[in-house]
Amino acid sequence: MPTVIVATGNPGKLKEMQGYLTDLDWQLALKPPEIEIEETGTTFLANAQLKAAEVAKELGQWAIADDSGLMVDALDGAPGLYSARYAATDAARIERLLRELGTTSNRAAQFVCAIALARPDGTIALQTEGVCPGEIARQPSGGGGFGYDPVFYVPTAGKTFAEMARAEKDRLSHRGVAFAQLMPALRSLDLEAAASSGTPS
């Protein structure tokens, strides 16, 4: 069973990836804490590529990374790449977002998730970007999820991410969309053969 390093130090992210990749014959492992990657990319995809490539080269193993965030139209795409650093806590991030939006009628937003898989030499084998369109609710609703989930309303579902059952959110979310796009290619990828032959993406 091939081992793929998840380019994060967050055990929760590892568990989440395992949920999406259950039908692949992969062993997922967290990156060692001493490997620190500075996210200097200007897009979600650039950051995902950077994290996957650096970890793969450092360890000489396959590595997968994702980078995601919330983009709000009325805030010119903010918080965007800084979604996790918008404030110190989830509650503070939501409070800042709602404060900055104020009473504006344009609540359009989207969650974006970029995923990149790097070969042991650091070259990118596969990449994709998933998007979930929605809008920012005027007040939080629902007790599930994390981050901005209580205020991210999905019109097609008629509820916020935080009001959804886990399976529904996994299917509709930006991360779910990204993995669904990537799975056919991942299923057909022989990691041992691809690593040795340098199979192009």
Q: Which pLDDT tens digit goes with each residue over 108-122? A: 999 999 999 999 999
| 201 has a pLDDT exceeding 50 | no
Task: Report the pLDDT averaged over residues 93-98.
Answer: 98
| 199 has a pLDDT exceeding 80 | no
Query: Going by C-beta distance under 8 Å and a sequence separation of 6 or more, which residues neighbour residue 87?
Result: 93, 95, 96
User: What pLDDT is attached to residue 138?
Assistant: 97
Q: Which pLDDT tens digit goes with each residue over 55-87? A: 999 999 999 999 999 999 999 999 999 999 999
User: What pLDDT is attached to residue 194?
Assistant: 58
Q: Which pLDDT tens digit goes with each residue over 11-59? A: 888 888 888 998 898 999 999 999 999 889 999 999 999 999 999 999 9
Active site residue 190: no
Question: Which residue's structure tokens are 């080269």?
Answer: 57
Task: Please give the Cα distance from 153 to 110 (Å, whole number).
Answer: 10
Candidate list 25, 67, 90, 170, residue with the active-site label:
67
User: What pLDDT is attached to residue 184?
Assistant: 93
Which of 139-172 are b and which e, b meaning 16 or more Cβ less than 10 Å from the residue's Cβ? ebebeebebbbbbbbbeebebbbbbbeeeebbeb
- Tell me the domains of the chain and their CATH numbers: 3-197 (3.90.950.10)
How many angstroms separate the Cα of 105 from the Cα of each of 78, 133, 136, 155? 17, 16, 10, 15
Which value, in Å, is the radius of gyration of the alpha carbons in the chain? Answer: 17
